[in-house]
């Protein structure tokens, strides 16, 4: 249970800071939009770049007070923790290798953390960060945004209610084509850091998108990984991290799983798919058509469940914003996690600090599991696919 900080207000929008996400960044803009969608947050401070001049220019573009544009996250954590109107939460949207030091600084300053995935660039840092988060008593929200989609919440609810029976198979794929050529050699910013092991960690596609596929399977199924066998490749000449991964998995309890994660599959833009099968039925979902969930009871015709349509349950409805037939997707998935974070922060503001049971978001523990998955994949692949425990 998170500790109550007397500095926090009991009402009003939540004061938000951001580390990273300045000029030229993609994910920072996504987080800012997501934080605004439900009107729960107000961005008031930032250390938006490691370059102080770029940080100040970025802050100016966003209308931030120049006095609350910081040259480093350490300066920001210290200054904001000492202000009566300091930030209550910080969004960390830097390359992977900076997640640990930035999150550590804000947790130790008593500030809630909302962090992009993966948790850290290596497992040792992930475990250290989990211990720091536990000691701090602050909330830690990991933005595996696909867990915020209504039909993913629908699928999770159906599994929890036993609609599929005993689970047997969990299959996920996350396939893209944008790294089919060595565009990192042209200086393309998003490609450059994602293919640099010093910034992204040991896993390339496994860390960038494989962690999403793995997390999504665990989130919906509720299963825990026992061991895996991985075959990783860097198909593009000179690339230092994997750009394609095939992973077989054994879950505790006997279920089996597979993941295909690739960034070198021409014709695929952002193909994230999840299929789960039990002894009573199966579910299928695709991120590029996110408002549809296909359910097949064993021996009966396939059924289509739509967001806010007939057959959709309370878990999906709770995180839906608009009527059936209107698309909700990527930005709204992120927004759902920000909304869940807001509900949790508002609960912590109260004296009992109890977070409602239906408020669901990936935590630092999920982050540790994701980094352990990546490192196990790398280790297994180096040993010709030897079965490896995370």
Q: How confident is the model over 127-139, as pLDDT tens digits? A: 999 999 999 999 9
CATH architecture, domain 150-323+369-382: 2-Layer Sandwich (3.30)
Q: How many CB atoms lie within 10 A of CB 354?
A: 12
Q: How confident is the model over 197-226, as pLDDT tens digits? A: 999 999 999 999 999 999 999 999 999 999
Let me know: does 69 contact 46? Beta carbons within 8 Å.
yes
Provide the CATH number for the domain formed by 14-146+334-359 in this structure: 3.40.50.720
Poorest-pLDDT segment among 81-85, 186-190, 372-376: 186-190
**What is the CB-side half-sphere exposure of residue 129 using CA atoms within 13 A?**
33
Beta strands per DSSP E along 207-347: 225-233, 244-251, 256-262, 271-278, 281-286, 292-297, 303-306
Q: State both tokens at 325.
A: 């037939």
pLDDT-derived band at 352 (thresholds 50, 70, 90) equals low
Asked if the domains at 14-146+334-359 and 150-323+369-382 fall in one CATH topology, the answer is: no
Our separate counts of H helices and E strands in the chain read: 13, 13
The Cα–Cα gap between 306 and 311 comes to 8
Q: How confident is the model over 27-73, as pLDDT tens digits? A: 999 999 999 999 999 999 999 998 888 999 999 999 999 999 999 99
Q: How confident is the model over 228-258, as pLDDT tens digits? A: 999 999 999 999 999 999 999 999 999 999 9
Q: Is 60 exposed, middle or buried (0-12, 13-18, 19+ CB in 10 A)?
A: exposed
pLDDT at 6: 45
Q: How confident is the model over 12-35, as pLDDT tens digits? A: 899 999 999 999 889 999 999 999
Domain segments of the chain as ranges: 14-146+334-359, 150-323+369-382
Angle between helices 364-382 and 211-221 (to 10 degrees): 120
pLDDT score of 4 more than 50:
no
The Cα–Cα gap between 277 and 93 comes to 35
Let me know: does 134 contact 128? Beta carbons within 8 Å.
no
Q: How confident is the model over 154-164, as pLDDT tens digits? A: 999 999 999 99
pLDDT at 3: 45
pLDDT at 294: 98
pLDDT at 1: 41
Q: Beta 140-142 vs 167-175: how paired, if at all?
A: unpaired
Over the range 113-129, which residues count as b (16 or more CB within 10 Å of their CB) and which as e? bbbbbbbbbbbebbbeb
pLDDT at 288: 96
Angle between helices 123-136 and 364-382 (to 10 degrees): 170
């Amino acid at each position: 249970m998170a500790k109550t900080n007397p500095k926090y207000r009991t009402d009003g929008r939540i004061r938000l800071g951001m580390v990273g996400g300045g000029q030229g960044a993609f994910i920072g803009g996504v987080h800012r939009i997501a934080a605004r969608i439900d009107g729960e947050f107000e961005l008031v401070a930032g250390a938006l770049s490691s370059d102080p001049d770029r940080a100040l220019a970025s802050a100016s573009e966003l209308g931030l007070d120049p006095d609350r544009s910081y040259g480093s996250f350490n300066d920001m954590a210290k200054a904001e923790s000492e202000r009566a109107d300091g930030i209550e939460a910080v969004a960390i949207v830097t390359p992977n290798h900076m997640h640990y030091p930035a999150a550590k600084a804000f947790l130790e300053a008593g500030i809630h953390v909302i962090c992009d995935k993966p948790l850290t660039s290596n497992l040792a840092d992930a475990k250290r960060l989990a211990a720091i988060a536990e000691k701090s008593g602050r909330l830690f929200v990991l933005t595996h945004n696909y867990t915020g989609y209504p039909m993913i919440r629908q699928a999770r609810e159906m599994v929890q209610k036993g609609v599929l029976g005993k689970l047997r198979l969990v299959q996920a794929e996350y396939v893209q084509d944008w790294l089919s050529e060595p565009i990192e050699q042209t200086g393309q910013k998003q490609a450059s850091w994602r293919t640099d092991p010093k910034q992204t960690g040991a896993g390339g596609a496994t860390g960038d998108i494989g962690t999403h596929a793995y997390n999504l399977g665990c989130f919906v199924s509720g299963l825990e990984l026992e061991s895996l066998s991985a075959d990783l490749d860097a198909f593009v000449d000179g690339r230092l991290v994997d750009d394609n991964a095939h992973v077989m998995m054994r879950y505790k309890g006997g279920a089996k799983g597979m993941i295909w994660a690739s960034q070198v599959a021409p014709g695929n833009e952002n193909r994230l798919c999840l299929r789960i099968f039990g002894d009573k039925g199966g579910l299928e979902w695709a991120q590029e058509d996110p408002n549809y969930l296909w359910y097949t009871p064993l021996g009966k015709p396939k059924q289509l469940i739509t967001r806010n349509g007939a057959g959709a349950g309370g878990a999906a409805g709770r995180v839906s914003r608009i009527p059936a037939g209107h698309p909700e997707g990527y930005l709204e998935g992120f927004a759902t996690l920000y909304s869940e974070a807001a509900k949790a922060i508002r609960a912590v503001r109260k004296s009992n600090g109890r977070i409602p049971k239906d408020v669901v978001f990936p935590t630092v523990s999920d982050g540790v599991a994701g980094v352990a998955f990546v490192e196990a994949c790398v280790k297994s692949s180096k040993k010709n696919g030897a079965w490896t425990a995370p």
